[in-house]
Amino acid sequence: MTIGKKPELLAPAGNLEKLKFAIHYGADAVYIGGKQFGLRAKAGNFSFEDMEEGVAFANKYGAKVYVAANIIAHNENLEGAHEYFKKLYDIGIAAVIVADPALISACRESAPNLEVHISTQASIANWRTVQFWKNQGIPRVVLAREVSLEEIKEMKEKVDIEIEAFVHGAMCISYSGRCVLSNHMTARDANRGGCAQSCRWNYDLFEDGTDGSVSISDRADEAYTMSSKDLSMVEHLPDLIHAGVDSLKIEGRMKSIHYVATVVNVYRKIIDTYFEDPANYQLDPEWVDEIWKAAQRSLTTAFYYNEPTEKDQLFGKPDRITKYDFAGLVLEYDEATQIATIQQRNSFKVGDEIEFFGPNFYHFKQTIKEIWNEHGEKMDIAKHPMMITKVKVDQPVRYYDMMRKSK
């Protein structure tokens, strides 16, 4: 079996803390947003100072930082673009992810050595469009989510270019980059960072042919009638590798630290395990179970194998998904006493069953038997945010391991 180089694992980072967790848990690169020109206006986003710290951290671990500047710009959005891209280059950003030709031009004029990737907002769904961007000197394109595996194979066969494709995360009800539902319903421009996610709202359903006065919502199992299931290729990653995908992208700059760490951890494990022995690779059911611990909706393979149907939408009764809280972060571990110093992130108490997990898919469960505060005083519950506690653990833990519990 002939396979190419190991693909990049690209993770979302909505703020500086998420960036550090993503890289610590195995991301080869992260994509972030700045204070301008990005599509996640409500994410934490990065100041230039945050970017400098993030790049320094990434460099320490041999990782890269990309900045999404992928709005569809109107005239008033173009001010300051030249200075912005020059600053990103000076900071050491590895590439910018852009959709608008005006912003591409601004980047090339002000920071000609800053690499440009074409965003999924450009809705790239055929090989001739890929060839167009290749002819413009673009080294990488981020495909629309609506592309199949067979289409990716054809793109790679016909065009020598890096391809980045989504492997996990939220799906849009609309074609990538072409939604105006938020604009229409809330006057918030989805293509300039203000998406209200109108498709995720709970809508009334009305009997067809009536004047809208006869609601049938009480007869429907589910009123989230436009909401897609989330993408997950965790069970099919070798197919994307064989198709020639160069960068495997996880969606979710607004997702939690627990989500980012869990999903990155699983995909890192799968990629590394596959490349250790491709011929004998087998999916471990534990990897799938772990993904469900971070899942917020039911999962689908979306467009990769066939056109989605109603089974790929959140119609009917939703799957029962056990939710998990990020309960604590390991700061220290004393091997002699088997006591871990934990920074509390969500309430936990004596008697709770919790699970520790860390990079390289390390994890174990135990029951909390005793808790001490930072002064060594016993306590029954750790309920104050960010408080420092000590907990006796059944197995060794390491700095930056996480503790979680089911809700």
Q: 270-275 contacts: CB < 8 A, separation 24 or more?
A: 270/234, 270/237, 271/6, 271/7, 271/9, 271/237, 271/241, 274/237, 274/238, 274/241, 275/3, 275/6
Choice between 224 and 272, residue whose per-residue pLDDT is larger: 272
User: Could you tell me which residue, 225 or 90, shows the higher pLDDT?
Assistant: 90
Weakest-pLDDT range from 40-49, 241-250, 267-276, 370-379? 40-49
Question: pLDDT by residue (tens digit) across 16-49?
Answer: 999 999 999 999 999 999 987 766 555 568 999 9
183-202 b/e (C-beta count within 10 Å ≥ 16 → b): beeeebbbbbbbbbbbbeee
Compute the radius of gyration of the chain from its Cα atoms.
23
Place of tokens 């996880």: 250
Q: CB atoms < 10 A from the CB of 232, how many?
A: 24
Model confidence pLDDT, tens digit, residues 339-380: 999 999 999 999 999 999 999 999 999 999 999 999 999 999
**Cα–Cα distance between 407 and 401 in angstroms, integer?**
19
Give the rounded percent of residues in the chain with a pLDDT score beyond 90: 73
pLDDT confidence of 177, banded at 50, 70, 90? Answer: low
Where residue 324 falls among pLDDT bands split at 50, 70, 90? very high
Question: What stretch(es) of the chain map to CATH 2.40.30.10?
Answer: 324-406
pLDDT at 128 over 90: yes
CA contacts within 13 A on the Cβ side of 343: 10
Dihedral sign computed on CA atoms, order 153, 154, 155, 159 = positive
Name the pLDDT band for 196 (thresholds 50, 70, 90).
Answer: low
Considering the chain, tell me which residue range(s) the CATH 3.20.20.70 domain(s) occupy: 8-176+227-312
- Tell me how far apart the alpha carbons of residues 179 and 162 are, in angstroms, rounded to a whole number: 26
pLDDT at 160: 97
pLDDT confidence of 183, banded at 50, 70, 90? Answer: confident
**Higher model confidence: residue 317 or residue 269?**
269
Q: Give the residue, 133 or 407, on which the prediction is more confident.
A: 133
Question: Which range among 181-190, 218-227, 317-326, 389-398 shows the weakest confidence by mean pLDDT?
Answer: 218-227
Token reading at 116 = 């440009």
pLDDT for res 251: 94
CATH 2.40.30.10: does it fit domain 324-406?
yes
218 or 309, which is more confident? 309
Answer whether 0.85 is exceeded by the pTM: yes
Beta bridge partners of 406: 324
Average pLDDT score over residue span 198-226: 66
Identify the pLDDT of residue 224. Answer: 60
- The tokens for 213 are 């006065």
H helices of 9-111, in order, are: 16-24, 48-60, 81-91, 101-110
Proportion of the chain in helix, strand, coil states, percent, rounded to 5: 30, 25, 45
User: With 90 as the cut, is the pLDDT of residue 180 above it?
Assistant: no
Q: Please state which CATH number belongs to domain 8-176+227-312.
A: 3.20.20.70
The Cα–Cα gap between 304 and 98 comes to 24
- Report the distance separating Cα 121 and Cα 100, nearest Å: 9
